[in-house]
Every structure is written in structure tokens, then in C-alpha cells.
């Protein structure tokens, strides 16, 4: 059991390191979004994806370890949580304190990451709205006004005047 708990704390510490790395990348992404630096956004997004893949493999390792711990403790693997392990380690205060410390550090990092991601999401949404506005502006500049031509049933035909930028005849 002690080796499983050591493995769990090591995996949780590794996850915390990777989430902090992801947090740093997300903060850099925020700066790139503010500066509208598209190449930097692409590079940072690719780096985030790599770190996310590493986190996913650590998550699988953590799930396997938690499953093994649940088998040892004769508990349901699907409902066993790290907080449950903390309470069950009341007889081993050193191990309990170590697990509690790692868990709270991971939780704090995750909370910071959520906050930065919310800001990045807002920045991306605003960037997309600005791009859509610019595209609509360019489309309207290329489109000529409609004529006031009506068909036999008194409905506007919607014909456009010349849509070319400059039409000169010599």
C-alpha cells in the first residue's frame, strides 16, 4: 500500500508540474492573443497540445494506481477519490500530509488554469467577432447598392449597380 501511495503522490506531483507548464503556455497565449500574433498563437497551441497529451498519459497512470488502491482497500474504484484516501490515512499523518499538500497544490494550479482559460476564451471570442465585423465591412465595400427596380408584382428585384471598384471607358 505504501508503494502505491508513493506512486500516486509522484504521479500527482508530475501532473502538477505539467499543469503549471500548461498554465505558463496559456498565459503566453493570452499575450499573443492580445498582440494578435498569429504565428505565436499557432506555436503556443501546438505546445499546449503536446503538454495536454503528456497530462493525459499521467491521468491514465493515476487512474490505474487509484484502481489498484481501491482493490487493496476493498472499495469501489469508480467512487474512490484522493480526498477519500486522505481521510483513510488518518493513522499515517506523514503520508496524509504529503498527499494533502500535493492535492491542494494541484487544485490551486487547476483553479489558476481555469481562470486563464476563461480569459483566453473571451479574447478568442472577441477576436472572432472583430474578424467577422471586418469581413462584413469588406464585403459591403465590394457590394454596390441595390437599385429601386420592381417587377410586375411590385416586388423589389434586388438588382445591384455595377460592383466593380473602378469602371472607366476610354
List own/partner pairs for 107-111 with CB under 8 A and 24 or more apart: 109/16, 109/19, 109/20, 109/23, 110/19
If one compares 24 and 3, the residue with the highest pLDDT of the two is: 24
Do residues 102 and 12 lie in contact, with contact meaning Cβ atoms separated by under 8 Å?
yes
pLDDT number for residue 82: 87
Domain ranges across the chain: 2-142
Do residues 83 and 99 lie in contact, with contact meaning Cβ atoms separated by under 8 Å?
no
| Residue closest to 81 by CA, chosen among 100, 54, 58, 105 | 100
| Residue closest to 116 by CA, chosen among 25, 51, 12, 54 | 25
The whole-model pTM stands at: 0.75
| Domain 2-142 class, CATH top level | mainly alpha
Lowest-confidence pick of 29-38, 55-64, 131-140: 131-140
pLDDT number for residue 158: 64
Q: Which three cell numbers stand for residue 165?
A: 471598384
d(CA 49, CA 47): 5
Share of the chain above pLDDT 90, in %: 50
pLDDT tens by residue, 61-107: 999 999 998 898 888 888 888 888 888 887 888 888 998 999 999 99
Burial of 12 (0-12, 13-18, 19+ CB in 10 A): buried
Count of other CB atoms within 10 angstroms of residue 103: 19
Angle at 9 between CA 100 and CA 50, to 5 degrees: 115
pLDDT number for residue 143: 66
pLDDT tens by residue, 15-41: 999 999 999 999 999 999 888 888 999
Task: Decide if pLDDT at 160 tops 60.
Answer: no
Amino acid at each position: 500500500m505504501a508503494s502505491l501511495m508513493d506512486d500516486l503522490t509522484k504521479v500527482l506531483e508530475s501532473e502538477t508540474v505539467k499543469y503549471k507548464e500548461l498554465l505558463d503556455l496559456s498565459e503566453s497565449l493570452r499575450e499573443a492573443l492580445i498582440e494578435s500574433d498569429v504565428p505565436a498563437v499557432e506555436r503556443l497551441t501546438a505546445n499546449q497540445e503536446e503538454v495536454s497529451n503528456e497530462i493525459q498519459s499521467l491521468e491514465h497512470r493515476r487512474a490505474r494506481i487509484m484502481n489498484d488502491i481501491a482493490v487493496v482497500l476493498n472499495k469501489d474504484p469508480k467512487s474512490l477519490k484522493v480526498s477519500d484516501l486522505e481521510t483513510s490515512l488518518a493513522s499515517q499523518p506523514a503520508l496524509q500530509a504529503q498527499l494533502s499538500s500535493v492535492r491542494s497544490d494541484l487544485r490551486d494550479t487547476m483553479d489558476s488554469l481555469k481562470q486563464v482559460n476563461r480569459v483566453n476564451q473571451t479574447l478568442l471570442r472577441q477576436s472572432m467577432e472583430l474578424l467577422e465585423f471586418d469581413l462584413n465591412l469588406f464585403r459591403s465595400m465590394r457590394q454596390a447598392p441595390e437599385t429601386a427596380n420592381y417587377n410586375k408584382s411590385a416586388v423589389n428585384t434586388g438588382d445591384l449597380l455595377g460592383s466593380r471598384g473602378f469602371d472607366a471607358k476610354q
